[in-house]
């Protein structure tokens, strides 16, 4: 009997990058040596949001959630010894995608490598930044223009490059249902292709369609997630053929990469997370007709902090075992003809298409972002999800059920169970940045920035001017500042104002008791107790802050929530102006010590004595330092009961009043 023919496995990646370009380069070499077949570069928040490492908003954020890349020199170091022509490099970069691609192309040109042979992906999806991740820089219209610039440039100059990953991953992380994830991603792709169709010659537009890829999420309900992926293939083919007249199957194939769900990873009993990760991987690998082209898995301890190389290796080995030890790749699609799968796929596709049509009726995805419609829908979906978990209707093992546990040997020493970034990294990066600025030709930099602003002002493609700026030594902050002069700044709707908290009969007594207490405090204060919810720094993951703001408003607080990306100085000024009784800080980037302590110092200097609580992915040792410094409460992912958190907050205000 002949051996069955095995399919080639998907590209195996690990989302990685931290501290410095040199440290990240060493990590990439190590991971590739372990059998990883592609790179997935994580950039730090200043790089993602267009700031240099010495900008005030970058304080505490440098090298925390990714690698800082401020200029061509950093890009040289990051890819030192790695042949770009033979790499498949995914860059998780959006608002500054034209710039990071320009640096990558400039490096290839500098090395004498063939730019036309570069392979990889820039995520380059701005819509989800307004809805979930918050690393947008410009308003939706100019952002769409910049995204389209990358598409138009790559289809001509870098034909093997995927210019955009329409990214529904973060939508699910923000609470999107499978239907919403399908609809919002496909609506984004429609907006992008409509924009590109007006920018590229008609004869090459089908190639643009063929280069669009997606980056999706796979949650724990892996049957539903598998059906979601098959529904994606059905709807994408419909869009390609019916809206754009592209029928070549090579160009209409739904191409996607995936990182499985990080939202469901738990801080309690974190050893369970590897089981969740493997099950979620099955959703995007079992079905051959809807199999991912690239897979990256989170690490088991991401709810605790930054994973170490060993943690990332464990997730890589899970992929390798599935691909090389099992017989999965030896068979045709396992689900063709399945009555259950066909029924579920049709139901998801029909519901998602109805939502796509609703978005189109509202003027398309850009208008739906600007109006706040999409953000509010996501905030409400996430509120409903959290309410189900709090009521026990949605079981999370180790969190709201089966919570009894033996001590986990994996976290016996929690301080060693995660990777920490040396605080000296930020100072070193700033010193290196200043040295870079001093050694370059200032007149050449100024000319390059004038050329960039000129191209943007005239509506020209900014890619050629960006590549020239990269060669001239322009920095990330300078590139973004030049375009900010042309396009202006933007603050997206928060989704909090019109959102409502799902009602729960089981929670009604607790909520009413809180309302009664706050009503009594209002009588004494002469106004409702006021809570300021703030996100200092560049962390744009606003899901937790939004849910706290909505729940606090529901129980009777007067809530001030200004959205993302504010400095400690601005937060304290707002606290003074609003006369708040309590401040809640949300920081998920690992910068909690620097930013929270800065807020405390500024409050004391201003003579404002109000309780401060902090939420985020905060190791126990850091939580103790925050509490010792004067923070009133620290909340981490294990604190999922919003009603209990509200009881704490109301008690803090009442205690302060009694004192």
Which positions are annotated as active-site residues? 15, 169-170, 535, 539, 541
Give CA–CA dist 352/346, Å, rounded. Answer: 10
- C-beta of residue 592 within 8 angstroms of C-beta of residue 622: yes
Strand partners, 40: 15, 90
Query: b/e map of 16-40 (b: 16 or more CB within 10 Å)?
Result: bbbbbbebbbebbeebeeeebbbbb
3-class SS string, 476-535: HHHHHHHHHHHHCCCCCCCCCCCCCCCCCHHHHHHHHHHHHHHHHHHHHHCCCCEEEEEC
Tokens 């909690």 map to which residue? 592
- C-beta of residue 94 within 8 angstroms of C-beta of residue 123: yes
85 CB neighbour count, 10 Å cutoff: 13
3-class SS string, 594-618: HHHHHHHHHHHHCCCCCCEEEECCC
- DSSP tag of 401: B
Class of residue 534 by CB neighbours under 10 A (exposed 0-12, middle 13-18, buried 19+): buried
| Torsion, CA 13, CA 14, CA 18, CA 23, rounded to 10 | -70
Give CA–CA dist 493/561, Å, rounded. Answer: 11
Give CA–CA dist 461/438, Å, rounded. Answer: 29
| Torsion, CA 547, CA 550, CA 555, CA 559, rounded to 10 | 120
Give CA–CA dist 652/637, Å, rounded. Answer: 21
Tokens of 625: 């330092």
- C-beta of residue 303 within 8 angstroms of C-beta of residue 637: yes
Distances (CA, A) of 161 to 118, 148, 212, 221: 7, 14, 10, 32
Residue ranges of alpha helices (H) inside 169-218 are 169-173, 178-197, 205-211
Give SS3 for 210: helix
Residues 6 or more apart whose Cβ sits within 8 Å of residue 624: none
Helix and strand element counts for the chain (H, E):
26, 15
């Amino acid at each position: 009997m002949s051996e069955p023919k095995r399919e080639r496995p998907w590209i195996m990646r690990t989302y990685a990058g931290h501290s410095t370009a040199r440290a990240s380069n060493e990590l990439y070499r190590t991971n590739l040596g372990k059998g990883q077949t592609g790179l997935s570069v994580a950039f730090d928040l200043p790089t993602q949001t267009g700031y240099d490492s010495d900008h005030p908003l970058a304080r505490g954020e440098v090298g925390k959630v990714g690698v800082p890349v401020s200029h061509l020199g950093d890009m040289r170091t990051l890819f030192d010894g790695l042949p770009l022509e033979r790499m498949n490099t995914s860059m998780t970069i959006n608002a500054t995608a034209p710039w990071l691609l320009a640096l990558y192309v400039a490096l290839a040109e500098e090395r004498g490598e063939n730019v036309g042979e570069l392979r990889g992906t820039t995520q380059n999806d701005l819509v989800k930044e307004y809805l979930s991740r918050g690393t947008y820089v410009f308003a939706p219209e100019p952002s769409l223009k910049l995204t389209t610039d990358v598409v138009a440039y790559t289809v001509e100059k870098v034909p093997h490059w995927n210019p955009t990953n329409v990214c529904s991953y973060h939508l699910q992380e923000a609470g999107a249902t499978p239907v919403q994830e399908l609809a919002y991603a496909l609506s984004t792709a429609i907006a992008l292709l409509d924009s590109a169709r007006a920018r590229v010659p008609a004869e090459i537009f089908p190639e643009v369609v063929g280069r669009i890829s997606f980056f999706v999420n796979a949650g724990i309900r892996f049957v539903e997630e598998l059906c979601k992926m098959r529904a994606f293939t059905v709807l994408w083919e419909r869009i390609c053929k019916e809206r754009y007249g592209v029928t070549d199957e090579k160009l209409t194939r739904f191409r996607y990469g995936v990182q499985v769900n990080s939202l469901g990873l738990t801080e309690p009993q974190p050893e369970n997370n590897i089981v969740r990760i493997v099950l979620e991987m099955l959703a995007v690998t079992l079905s051959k007709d809807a199999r991912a082209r690239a897979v990256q898995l989170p690490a088991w301890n991401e709810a605790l902090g930054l994973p170490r190389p060993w943690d990332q290796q464990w997730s890589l080995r899970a992929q390798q075992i599935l691909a090389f030890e099992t017989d999965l790749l030896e068979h045709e699609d396992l689900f063709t003809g399945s009555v259950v799968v066909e029924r579920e796929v049709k139901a998801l596709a029909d519901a998602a298409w109805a939502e796509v049509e609703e978005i189109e009726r509202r003027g398309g995805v850009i208008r739906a972002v600007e109006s706040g419609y999409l953000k509010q829908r996501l905030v409400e979906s996430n509120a409903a999800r959290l309410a189900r978990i709090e009521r026990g209707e949605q079981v999370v093992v180790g969190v709201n059920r089966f919570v009894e546990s033996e001590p986990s040997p994996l976290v016996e020493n929690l301080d060693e169970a995660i990777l920490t970034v040396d605080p000296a990294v930020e100072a070193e990066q700033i010193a290196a940045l200043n040295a870079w600025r001093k050694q370059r030709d200032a007149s050449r930099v100024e000319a390059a920035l004038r050329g960039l602003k000129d191209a943007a002002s005239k509506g020209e493609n900014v890619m050629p001017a960006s590549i020239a700026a990269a060669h001239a030594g322009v920095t990330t902050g300078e590139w973004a500042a030049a375009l900010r002069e042309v396009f202006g700044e933007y603050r997206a709707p928060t989704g909090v104002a019109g959102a409502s908290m799902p009602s729960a009969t089981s929670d009604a007594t607790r909520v009413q008791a809180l309302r009664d207490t706050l009503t009594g405090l209002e009588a004494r204060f002469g106004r409702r107790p006021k809570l300021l919810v703030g996100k200092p720094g560049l962390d744009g993951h606003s899901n937790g802050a939004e849910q706290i703001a909505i729940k606090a408003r529901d129980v009777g607080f007067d809530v001030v929530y200004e959205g993302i990306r504010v400095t400690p100085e601005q937060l304290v000024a707002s606290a003074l102006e609003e006369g708040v009784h309590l401040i809640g800080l949300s920081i998920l980037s690992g910068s909690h010590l620097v930013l929270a302590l800065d807020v405390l110092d500024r409050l004391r200097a201003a003579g404002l004595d109000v309780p401060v609580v902090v939420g985020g992915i905060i190791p126990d040792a850091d939580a103790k330092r925050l509490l010792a410094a004067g923070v009133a409460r620290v909340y981490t992912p294990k604190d999922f009961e919003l009603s209990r958190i509200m009881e704490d907050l109301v008690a803090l205000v009442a205690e302060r009043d009694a004192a």
